[in-house]
A and B are shown apart, each in its own frame.
Chain A
Amino acid sequence: MDRARYLPLFLEEATDHLAELGRALLVLEKDPAAAEALELCFRMAHSIKGMAASMSLDPITDCAHALEDRLGKAQRAGRVDPVVELPLWFSALDRLERLLRSVRDTGECAAEPAVEDLAGPAGLKKKLQRTLLAA
């Protein structure tokens, strides 16, 4: 596939999705029980993952995948943890925005540390430790 041909459409759509994701996260910040906002976040992360995977933009795919997993768990649990989960989701949004900017500027993803904060309990523990140390 001619990747360059699809890059403008990818950038346009991924930018829109991140904006929607950001708006939905703000809704969840005010009301962690907002199921529609959570469903929208899941769909945006899922969609970004699929598009980035097609474009072989692995850092975006990995981050969106990790975010989608955590959003899916919250959906199944029927609740959002505003103390632990929401900050992680916002940090994933920041990371996705940085990565997308680098794709816009250079055509590729800039180097970022591993997605440890979103990847599982070990990463989460590190994140919490850092948060506590910084407090």
Chain B
Amino acid sequence: MSGRILIVDDAPFMRAWLRGILESGGFEVVGEVEDGEKAVTAFAELRPDVMTMDLVMPRQSGVDAVREIMRIDPDARIVMCSAQGLEILVMEALQAGACEYFVKPLRPCCVLSTLRGVLEKGR
């Protein structure tokens, strides 16, 4: 299954790592941005099938970006990219409208199966 994905993460390394996983799984990466503010703009412009969203970023956090994107499109599909120890933030993001999450370290099988699941079931 293919899908158009937008990557949101402030770390170029994590964006490159995630892009490598996604492309190996047949997904198309339509864009990469490095903070929550740019994520909102890029979402409106690119309308990806799914966004992967880091939680801890400068300027605007992942949770705040989810809230704004949900106001633009309540059907937006956002998968949070978390790290260990951020369970409370993940819960906030899910309550704000994110539909799934994966936990770093990002493993290809986990990332790909999560995204395929999101694309299959929709919102």
A→B interface (CB under 8 Å)? 1-2, 5-6, 9-10, 13-14, 42-43, 46-47, 49-51, 53-54, 56, 61, 65, 68-69, 72
Contact = CB atoms under 8 A, between A and B. Distances in A.
B105 A56 contact: yes
Given A6-B17, A56-B105, 6 more contacts: A1-B108, A49-B104, A50-B11, A50-B105, A68-B85, A72-B85
B83 A46 contact: yes
A1 B10 CA distance: 21
A124 to B, nearest CB: 19
Contacts of B108: 1
25 contacts: A1-B20, A1-B21, A2-B20, A6-B13, A6-B16, A13-B11, A13-B12, A13-B13, A42-B56, A43-B10, A43-B56, A43-B58, A46-B56, A47-B56, A49-B83, A49-B104, A50-B14, A50-B83, A50-B104, A51-B13, A51-B17, A53-B104, A54-B13, A65-B84, A65-B85
B83 A9 contact: no
Given A1-B20, A6-B16, A53 B56 contact: no
Given A1-B108, A53-B105, A47 B11 contact: yes
B interface secondary structure, majority: loop
Interface string B1-21: 000000000111110110011
B106 interface: yes
A2 B58 CA distance: 29
Contacts of B83: 46, 49-50, 53
Nearest to B81: A50
